[in-house]
Amino acid sequence: MFRANCAAAPSTLRSQARARLLTPTRSLRNAGESALFGRMPFGKRTISIRPMARDRLSSTEVELEAVRARLTQQLGLEYYWQRISKASECAQCPLDEYHPSQGWRPQPHHLSKDKLWAQIREEAQQDAVSEPALASNLYSTILAHSNIEKSMAFMLANKLAWPTMLGMQLMRLIQDVYDDDPDVMEACLADLQAVFDRDPACDRYTLAMLGFKGFQAVQSYRIAHWLWRKGRKSLALAIQSRMSEVFHVDVHPAAVLGRGIMIDHATGVVIGETAVVGDNVSMLHRVTLGGSGTGGGVRHPTIGHGVLLGAGVTVLGPVTVGAGSKLGAGSVVVTDIPCHSVAVGVPAKIIKRDLVKEPVKDMDQCVDFVLNYDI
C-alpha cells in the first residue's frame, strides 16, 4: 500500500537489497495495492504497520529495512510514500490502540480469505432458497465457482463487457491479474470488509459484492491500474471509460488508491490521474479529486489515511488532506487540511481540530459541524 516513513536504509542494507534485486522475482507489486511496509511516525513513538499475514515481515529491524529498501528500488514507491507520509504525520495521533488513520490493518473480527469465501457461498445459498428468481444469477456468479478470484472475475467481466470486448475475454484477463499479483485480491478483500464494517445498510457480504457499484467500481479500477503499470495503457483507459459508463464512477488508472476504500452510492465520483488516496478512506457520491493546471507533475490531491469525504466534496489541485480528517458535504477544498480536522464551506474552512474519534468509524456527516456556517 503506502509507506509512511521513507527514510533511506543504511548503505549496507542498500547493497543487500540491490543484491536481492539481481535474482529473479515474481512480477512487481501494484503500487496502488501493495502492502504497507515500514514504520509510521506518530509523535515521538512509532507504530509498526503490518500487512496481511502472507506479507508479514520479520520483527528484526534489519530485515524490515532491507525489504523496505528492496521494494522501494523495485517499484519506485518512495515518491508515493513521501506524499502519503505528509498527509499522515500528526503529533496528536492516538497511540493507545489501532485507528484507521494509521493505515489499513486486518482486525481480529475480519475473516480470512477462505472463511470469507465460505461465508459468501453460504449467504448465496440462503438467498437462492429464499428467492428462487435470483437462484440462476447467484449460481452463475458465486456458487458455480471454486474461489473468490473466479467469482470476482466472472462478475466484473459481465459488468464491463461491451459488444467488441466479450465477457469471456475480460474474465480471462481479470483472472490473469489476480493470478499475477495476489495483492490485487487482498486489496479487494480489504475493500469488501471495509464496506461491511462501515455501511450500516450492508449486513451481508454478497450485498456489497453483487449490489454495491462503489465496491465494483473500485475493483474495476484495480484491474485497470494493474494494466497501466504493465504498460498496457490503451486497454487500461478503455476499461476506465467503460467503468465510467457502467458505474458512473471515473477513476484514472494511473491514480493510486490504498486498501479499505469505501465509496458509498458512488454516482458521480471522479478521481484524477495523479491523485493519491490512502488506506481506510470513505467517500460518498459526487466526490471529486480534481486537477489544477495543464502542466506535468502532481496536479491532484493527496488524501491521508482514514479520511471521510462527504457527499459532493471537491478537492482541487495538489493539496493534502491530513489523516483522520472530515470534509463536510458540498465543501470545496483548495488548501491543505491538517490531520484530524473538520473543514466545511466554499472555500473550506477549518472549524475543528484534534478530533478524538475517527470519522470513518461512525461515518457521521453531521456531527462536529456548526449549523449556520456561511457559504
Dmax of the chain from CA atoms? Answer: 64
Neighbours of 357 (CB within 10 A): 14
Average pLDDT over residues 56-66: 51
Average pLDDT over residues 71-95: 56
pLDDT tens track for 123-143: 999 999 999 999 999 999 999
Work out the percent of the chain whose per-residue pLDDT is above 90.
64
Q: 88 pLDDT exceeds 70?
A: no
**Kind of pairing, strands 288-290 and 269-271?**
parallel
Say which DSSP state 58 is in.
Answer: P
CA 153 to chain centroid: 19
For residue 357, the model assigns a pLDDT of 73
pLDDT grade for 353, boundaries at 50, 70 and 90? confident
Q: Where are the extended beta strands (E) located within 243-323?
A: 249-251, 256-257, 262-263, 269-271, 276-277, 282-283, 288-290, 302-303, 308-309, 314-316, 320-321
Work out the percent of the chain whose per-residue pLDDT is above 70.
70
Cβ-proximal residues to 21 (8 Å cutoff; 6+ apart), any chain: 70, 73, 74
pLDDT tens track for 91-112: 555 555 677 888 899 999 999 9
Lowest mean pLDDT among 12-16, 167-171, 225-229: 12-16
Q: Which residue has the higher pLDDT, 19 or 124?
A: 124
Cell triple for 120: 459468501
Q: 90 pLDDT exceeds 60?
A: yes
Average per-residue pLDDT for the chain: 81
Cis peptide before 347 (omega within 30 of 0): yes
Q: 301 pLDDT exceeds 60?
A: yes
pLDDT grade for 84, boundaries at 50, 70 and 90? low
- Chain position carrying cell 493527496: 302
pLDDT grade for 45, boundaries at 50, 70 and 90? very low
Q: 151 pLDDT exceeds 90?
A: yes
For residue 54, the model assigns a pLDDT of 38
- The alpha carbon dihedral of 138, 140, 145, 149 has a sign of negative
Predicted TM-score of the model (pTM): 0.75
Q: CB of 148 within 8 A of CB of 115?
A: no
Alpha carbon distance 175, 154 (integer Å): 9
Q: 144 pLDDT exceeds 90?
A: yes
In angstroms and rounded to an integer, the radius of gyration of the C-alpha atoms of the chain is 20
For residue 310, the model assigns a pLDDT of 95
